[in-house]
Amino acid sequence: MSRGVDLTTGSIWRHLVAFSLPMLAGSLLQTSYSLINAVWVGKYLGNEALAAVTVSFPPFFLMMAVANGLGMAASVLVSQAYGAKDEAGVQTVVDTAVMLTVVLSLLCLAAGHHGAEALLVRMGTAADVLPLAVPYLQLLSFTVPVMFGLFLLTALLRGVGDSKTPLWFQSGAVVVTIALDPVFIFGLGGMPRLGLNGTAWANLVTQAGALVAMLWYLRRQRHLAMPGRGCLRPDPAVGWRLLRVGIPSMFQQGLVSVGMIFLTGLVNGFGRDVTAAFGAGMRIDQLAFMPAMSIGTAISNVAGQNIGARRFDRVDQAFRAGVLLSLAFGSLAAIVAHFLPELVVRAFVSDAGTVAIGCEYLRIISIGYLLFSVMFVSNGVINGAGDTMATTFFSLLGLWIIRLPLAMYLSRVWRHQTGIWWAMVISFGIAMTVSVLYYRSGRWRRLAPVAEPGEPR
């Protein structure tokens, strides 16, 4: 039986690098697909299609927030049980998380498919973009159950210290999707020409294949994180703990998603070209976010196992190492975005006016790359302790109390989209400061669960 990796002993630096690099590679592959997809859409299908992808992303991310929240909760509880050497507790968490995933994914599918048009209209989507965006978002909704499954399996594997296995399946899916994109978009090889919807079909086919392949592999390996190694035995008490940890995380990421919907609505008010430029700029943001998110996730799992083992000294070591590593990547992204913005923006759009707007966005937002690099690390430790209510508050503060009101105010006073860009940077700075101060306070240590021997931790 495959049992994962014990992160409670050995070099913190080695664990952190070894754990985060596969996730970073996977994120890079996924973002590479997103970038290539943006090139196909922006260069060959036009600004309307790129704007349709941009406005569809926040609602889709809202559905994924539920998947991410449940996955984070499962990863936290699994890592704490694994760190405490409680394999029975690990299996109980796995089985319970699977049942919750099935129910929540189907609810999100129904809500996303039937509510797509009303939501896009309320976002102020331009009239020439709406006919493309509605069917695209409705089709994306069918990928939701598949993505829920993949997110859960990935989270469970990371909880037992295995960040490598998901990489192989993710890599295969991305490569196949990249190959299928032009086939479905342009109708190559006798396939019907599907245009923008072809990208959604390619993603659905390959992600479903990756989910089936990963389940088959885990069952064959009799992996500790395999759902239902005998039959599923969900535990209501564990289900409540998953929801207690996961709902704040779902709410947190939901706040981000809904906030992005409102923010995109503000951007839409400045016209199609600004929306397209914002979409191109967000592709670069994805590259900048990748290392910070990967390191933050690694920190969460390293912290979770060591909290389960009551090794708080190693948690502090992980925080310091994570900040240095995350800032190194964040600085590189900030330099490229600030000094070479035109080089990257022109990869996605050709119109000179749109390129200029995209460059303006990247020069301003590059400052934020350093700020969220630190924030993801401190949030990772706090989430690893299961204190997801705290990080939810940080998101509420940064996005809803600071970013959106400030973006509305500055964009109206300046009568220019740069007000939105500066509001984003300022909100990153405030959220980072509060997160680090909370970490330094040590309050998350008192909230770390203490399990009795023999009980699921």
Per the rule left: phi > 0, alpha: psi between -120 and 50, beta: everything else, 448 is beta
Question: How many residues would you count in the chain?
Answer: 457
Distance between CA atoms of residues 430 and 239, nearest Å = 34
Distance between CA atoms of residues 436 and 375, nearest Å = 7
- Closest CA relative to residue 344, chosen from 323, 328, 365: 365
- Closest CA relative to residue 268, chosen from 51, 116, 415: 51
H/E stretch holding 311 reads none
Other CB atoms closer than 10 Å to residue 295's CB: what's the count?
32
> What global pTM score does this model have?
0.69
Distance between CA atoms of residues 67 and 79, nearest Å = 18
Contact 264, 275 (CB under 8 A): yes
Which tokens go with 208? 């479903």
Distance between CA atoms of residues 53 and 134, nearest Å = 10
Distance between CA atoms of residues 197 and 187, nearest Å = 11
- Closest CA relative to residue 61, chosen from 129, 1, 151, 135: 151
What pLDDT is stored for residue 140 in this prediction?
85
Spell out the alpha helix ranges (H) of 40-164. Answer: 47-83, 87-122, 130-141, 144-159
Helix axes 12-39, 47-83, angle to 10 degrees: 160
Distance between CA atoms of residues 3 and 375, nearest Å = 31
Mean pLDDT by 10 residues, the chain (457 residues): 70 86 78 71 76 80 81 85 80 86 88 84 81 87 89 86 83 84 85 84 89 89 73 78 82 74 84 84 83 89 84 90 93 92 81 88 94 94 87 87 93 91 94 95 73 39
Helix axes 165-186, 197-221, angle to 10 degrees: 150
Contact 30, 287 (CB under 8 A): no
